[in-house]
């Protein structure tokens, strides 16, 4: 999937008044993905979320940084460390920092998050992609480029999760192309303590349920009692 829809949503006030009460009835952990264009945006948003009855915040650092020439906060060690440290000052809840894969060395932003007090990191967000209509000679997307997600990005995501697992000591939430239990196990072997499913839900709304069943089948097949026993246990050649 190649998309360029941005991160449009009704805002934190609407979320607090309408979405959160319903979510609280669903008996699930509630982790809010927070995005912004400036450090001040992130800080003010997390001040509000700190008072909310939620289980944690995922700081989305793949957003445009208006004050830095539309770069992403998540592309540098310094950028990630700065915004994470500022948010950490106002947020008492568990903090996950979501990293962009559009970098030369994924371990540097991950270290920036860890050193600034993040409780975990999540990766990867979408890869930057482009598609061109050969008849009109124009890009298919109005924004020219967009975020590439789905099964095609999994090998990149698994590699980055492994690299980050070797560089930091905080938990990793792995994502990128997971559509079944085998995919999830692959991420865990690479070093992810938990996994997340995005584009797979567009293919099949039961992807998450089936992935859990697949993990259970793998555990039974290999006589694994605790799934944590396989985290980071890939045996390199």
The span from the CA of 138 to the CA of 208, in Å, is: 36
* Dihedral class, residue 84 (left if φ above 0, else alpha if ψ from -120 to 50, else beta): alpha
Cis previous bond, 111, omega within 30 = no
Structure tokens at 131: 């598609």
Active site residue 152: no
The span from the CA of 146 to the CA of 1, in Å, is: 9
Burial (CB count within 10 angstroms: exposed 0-12, middle 13-18, buried 19+), residue 219: middle
Cis previous bond, 124, omega within 30 = yes
Question: Which of 35, 46, 63, 152 is the catalytic position?
Answer: 63
The span from the CA of 100 to the CA of 121, in Å, is: 11
Name the residue among 220, 219, 175 with its Cα closest to residue 200.
175
Write phi, then psi, for 127 (nearest 5 degrees): -85, 145
The span from the CA of 80 to the CA of 9, in Å, is: 23
Catalytic residues: 63
């Amino acid at each position: 999937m190649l998309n360029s829809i941005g991160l449009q949503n009704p805002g934190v006030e609407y979320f607090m008044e309408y979405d959160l009460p319903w979510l609280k009835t669903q008996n699930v952990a509630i982790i809010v993905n927070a995005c912004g264009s400036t450090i001040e945006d992130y800080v003010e948003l997390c001040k509000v979320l700190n008072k909310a009855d939620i289980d944690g915040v995922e700081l989305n650092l793949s957003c445009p940084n208006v004050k830095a020439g539309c770069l992403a906060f998540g592309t540098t060690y310094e950028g990630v460390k700065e915004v994470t440290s500022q948010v950490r000052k106002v947020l008492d809840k568990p903090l996950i920092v979501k990293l962009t894969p559009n970098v030369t060395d994924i371990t540097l932003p991950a270290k920036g998050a860890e050193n600034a007090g993040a409780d975990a990191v999540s990766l990867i967000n979408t890869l930057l992609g482009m598609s061109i209509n050969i008849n009109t000679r124009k890009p298919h997307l109005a924004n020219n480029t967009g975020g590439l997600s789905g099964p095609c990005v999994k090998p990149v995501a698994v590699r980055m999760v492994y690299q980050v697992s070797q560089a930091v000591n905080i938990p990793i939430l792995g994502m990128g192309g997971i559509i079944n239990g085998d995919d999830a196990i692959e991420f865990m072997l690479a070093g992810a303590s938990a996994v997340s499913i995005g584009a797979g839900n567009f293919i099949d709304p039961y992807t998450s349920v089936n992935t859990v069943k697949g993990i259970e089948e793998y555990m039974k097949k290999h006589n694994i009692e605790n799934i944590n026993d396989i985290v980071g246990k890939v045996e390199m050649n």
